[in-house]
């Protein structure tokens, strides 16, 4: 091999070595650094990833209102039996009325009969219990009211001296007042005049005299 040929061969080998080095450097420079890979990985995270859930606010418990206690029911005033002397032996009328505090049933009396049934007249008040019936007939009476009292007059004159009936008032009243509801003449025979009187509420019932009259009073509930 001549000197020129050897120089040419050496030059080819040198060029080949340089090419290999350049290729290796290019490959090394094109490999992404670790920081670059981390940035790329973070950027590749899906944009619609679910956000971290936040804690729901805790509801503040409200105080339960305390119910207002109801007042106890009113105690009924017991009917006290009463007896006495009526103004006369002639009952002529019965009238119902009302006031701010009580309902009233007034028994109006006339003068004594010339010829009475004999003996002084008497009257009595008491509580009544069902069944309620008409005098000797025994026919039932449907009373109106939560409670019923009975008023009985004895030794009464049932006819005027001319032979006409003495009592000319209504035999049945339904005033519908707050307490007084019903009054029925259930007996008018053999010198006896009897009334059933129905009423509502716990109010006291009293029988008092006012001149020639008797007043049966039913107190309104307080």
Is pLDDT of 138 > 80? yes
Give the tens place of pLDDT for each residue, 69-116. Answer: 554 445 779 999 999 999 999 999 999 999 999 999 999 999 988 877
| Tokens matching residue 146 | 């939560």
- Is residue 101 within 8 A of residue 82, CB to CB? The reply is no
Is pLDDT of 17 > 90? no
| Tokens matching residue 72 | 């106890």
- At 126 the pLDDT is 97
Name the percent of the chain lying above pLDDT 70: 67
Is pLDDT of 39 > 90? no
User: Which residue's structure tokens are 């010339």?
Assistant: 114
Q: Which of 49-63, 98-112, 177-191, 192-206 shows the lowest per-residue confidence on average (mean pLDDT)?
A: 49-63
Q: What are phi and psi of 51, to 5 degrees?
A: -70, 155
Give the tens place of pLDDT for each residue, 61-70. Answer: 555 555 555 5
**CA dist 198 to 6, 28, 35, Å?**
152, 119, 105
Whole-prediction pTM: 0.67
Secondary structure (H, E, C), 186-204: EEEECCEEEEEEEECCCCC
Return the CA Rg of the chain: 57
Nearest to 149 by CA among 51, 75, 76: 76
Helix H or strand E segment including 41: helix 34-43
- Domains of the chain: residue spans and CATH: 82-219 (2.60.40.3500)
């Amino acid at each position: 091999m001549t000197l020129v040929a050897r120089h040419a061969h050496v030059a080819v080998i040198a060029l080949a070595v340089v090419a290999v080095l350049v290729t290796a450097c290019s490959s090394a420079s094109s490999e992404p650094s670790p920081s670059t890979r981390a940035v790329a990985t973070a950027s590749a995270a899906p944009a619609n990833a679910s956000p971290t859930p936040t804690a729901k606010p805790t509801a503040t418990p409200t105080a339960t209102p305390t119910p207002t206690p109801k007042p106890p029911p009113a105690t009924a005033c017991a009917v006290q039996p009463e007896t006495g002397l009526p103004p006369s032996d002639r009952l002529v009328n019965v009238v119902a009325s009302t006031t701010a505090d009580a309902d009233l049933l007034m028994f109006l009396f006339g003068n004594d009969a010339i010829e009475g049934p004999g003996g002084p007249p008497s009257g009595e008040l008491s509580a009544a219990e069902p069944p309620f019936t008409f005098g000797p007939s025994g026919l039932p009476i449907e009373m109106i009211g939560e409670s019923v009292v009975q008023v009985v007059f004895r030794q009464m004159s049932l006819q005027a001296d001319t032979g006409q009936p003495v009592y000319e008032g209504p035999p049945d009243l339904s005033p519908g007042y707050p307490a007084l509801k019903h009054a029925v003449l259930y007996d008018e025979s053999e010198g006896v005049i009897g009334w059933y009187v129905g009423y509502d509420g716990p109010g006291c019932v009293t029988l008092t005299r006012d001149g020639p009259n008797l007043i049966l009073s039913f107190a309104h509930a307080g």
